[in-house]
Amino acid sequence: MISLCLLRSVAAADFSAKIDPQVRARFGKAESVRVTILCRTQLLEPPDGFGRFCADHESRGRTELRAAVITRLKAIAENGEQDAVLKAADRANAERHWIVNAVTVQLPRRTIEKIAALDEVKYVYRGFAGLPPKRSGRLSEAVVPAEREPFSVKGRNVPWNLEAIGAPRVWARKKNAGEGVVVAMLEGGVDYTHPDLRRNLWTNPGETPGNGIDDDGNGLVDDYYGYNFRTGSCEVGALTAKHHHGTVTSGIVAGDGSGGTITGVAPRARLMLLAGAGVYAYQYALEHGADVLSMSFSIPGLGDGRGLWRLMSEHAVCAGLVLVSGCGNFQQSAEIPEQIRIPEGIPCVIGAGGVDRSLKVPGFCSLGPVEWGTVKFYGDHPLPEGLIKPDVCAFPGPGYPQLGPAGEDYGSQRRGNSFSGPHIAGVAALMLSAAPELQAWRIQELMEATAKDTGPAGKDCRTGAGLIDAWAAVSAAEAAAKE
């Protein structure tokens, strides 16, 4: 009898070990908890699966990998494990994902403990941010993108920040301003009617705007410029002054200088506008052909959930999406290693740090390292060394012209690593315009290899590999494409 009791208690402990401590902490406080249930089978097995995938697929082009990896991820998501979990939970309706094989659902404690015991369940995380109830939102203005003239800087100002990273030299000597590349902006809203942006919008070729019909059958009505997964609407515009954060970041990627000053690193790239939940933004960007995803937000305190974001990000990079994120502005308010958060603290997400015009790190910029030693399924990069972040750096401002709401155009007061990130996303666009088949992980490697070393010698936890160098990075991408 005694041994049987022992066995039972060991088994119970095992199942609870499959539940994120942050979920367990909520058990006493709420009737039910929103959880994301990671199923057993995944494309990549942590912690080394990503590195092995890159090594095994170094000869495959990005276009081919995009299609093959999406097909594989969707096949895994339909392997029956999600069905088994939802059946055991007695839930017909749940948010099913494919970028990771997982479901998100609100469940009572006893149900969570029951399903944690299933073989099909790998781990139960706190739930991803979800979809709002479907709304019938519409675009405030559907702009028919005007025919674009051949790109020229003639008669336009080119600010010092773009000169300092060598972007104008790439435009002029390589005839490359980011043509053919789509950069998805995961933002809180972007003024897509802005004269410096409106010619550079990506539009969904299968969708007619403003007819209230989901023409392309992707489940989203009128998703013409992208989609707002926060409000459940196709409206991705900057509705308040606060939302112009996204107008500024989009301007740094692709502002074309129609108003007189070129603000964009890649002024002929196209912008796909997304807002809200990361898991849906990743999936949308991949399915609708984005090449780069620019993220200017930081999520603190995710605990083991950092591993879920890492797996999702590694899957996206395998599928050819270059992920870029500013490194945050928490130098003064948070201890290392918590200054650099999610997503920018993930190894395969290019984390952008900041320097001022004299290449000094401003006092607000978050510093590395980042630790992964305590994160479930990973455990790599333990402290004290940790993972060196940022990866590269650019200019967080203030002091260079930025787009803004009407009347504030080409102001220069905003600052933050939110604005370093889009410089890096713009350079990624120039690199992919030159070498579209280069794998996403190679973009990160080549950026770091060609950055201008700053601060302490070598890659360091203040400035990463150094200041991004668009000319050297694009040249390296061209050379790599010929290998």
The structure tokens listed for 83 are 């069905």
Q: Answer yes or no whether residue 448 interacts with Ca ion by CB under 5 A.
A: no
Which amino acid appears at position 281 of this protein? A
Q: Answer yes or no whether residue 223 interacts with Ca ion by CB under 5 A.
A: yes
Q: Answer yes or no whether residue 453 interacts with Ca ion by CB under 5 A.
A: yes
Q: Answer yes or no whether residue 196 interacts with Ca ion by CB under 5 A.
A: no
Q: Answer yes or no whether residue 203 interacts with Ca ion by CB under 5 A.
A: no
Q: Answer yes or no whether residue 220 interacts with Ca ion by CB under 5 A.
A: yes
- The interface region with Ca ion, picked from 26-34, 205-213, 337-345, 409-417 by CB under 5 A, is 205-213
Cβ–Cβ under 8 Å, residues 188 and 275: yes
- The interface region with Ca ion, picked from 35-43, 54-62, 215-223, 392-400 by CB under 5 A, is 215-223
Q: Which is nearer to Ca ion, 211 or 413 (CB)?
A: 211
Cβ–Cβ under 8 Å, residues 316 and 293: yes
- The interface region with Ca ion, picked from 69-77, 147-155, 202-210, 444-452 by CB under 5 A, is 202-210
Binds Ca ion (CB under 5 A): choice among 252, 352, 455, 480: 455
Q: Answer yes or no whether residue 214 interacts with Ca ion by CB under 5 A.
A: yes
Which amino acid appears at position 82 of this protein? Q
Binds Ca ion (CB under 5 A): choice among 75, 213, 241, 479: 213
Binds Ca ion (CB under 5 A): choice among 83, 179, 215, 448: 215
CA–CA gap between residue 60 and residue 208 (Å, rounded)? 35
CA 157 to chain centre: 30
CA atoms within 13 A on the CB side of 185: 37
The structure tokens listed for 138 are 């519409």
- The interface region with Ca ion, picked from 33-41, 217-225, 424-432, 467-475 by CB under 5 A, is 217-225
Binds Ca ion (CB under 5 A): choice among 120, 187, 222, 469: 222
Q: Answer yes or no whether residue 211 interacts with Ca ion by CB under 5 A.
A: yes
Binds Ca ion (CB under 5 A): choice among 370, 460, 474, 480: 460
CA–CA gap between residue 285 and residue 131 (Å, rounded)? 16
CA–CA gap between residue 90 and residue 106 (Å, rounded)? 12
Handedness of CA 57, 432, 147, 287 (dihedral sign): positive
Which amino acid appears at position 179 of this protein? E
Q: Which is nearer to Ca ion, 225 or 378 (CB)?
A: 225
Contacts of 347 (CB under 8 A, 6+ apart): 50, 310, 372, 381, 387
Q: How many residues bind Ca ion (CB under 5 A)?
A: 14
Q: What is the CA radius of gyration of the chain?
A: 22
**CB of residue 208 to Ca ion, shortest distance in Å:** 4
Which amino acid appears at position 115 of this protein? I
- The interface region with Ca ion, picked from 165-173, 214-222, 226-234, 411-419 by CB under 5 A, is 214-222
Q: Answer yes or no whether residue 136 interacts with Ca ion by CB under 5 A.
A: no
Angle at 37 between CA 226 and CA 89, to 5 degrees: 115
Binds Ca ion (CB under 5 A): choice among 63, 140, 152, 208: 208
Instruction: Please give the residue ranges that form the binding site for Ca ion (CB under 5 A).
Output: 207-208, 211, 213-216, 218, 220, 222-223, 453, 455, 460
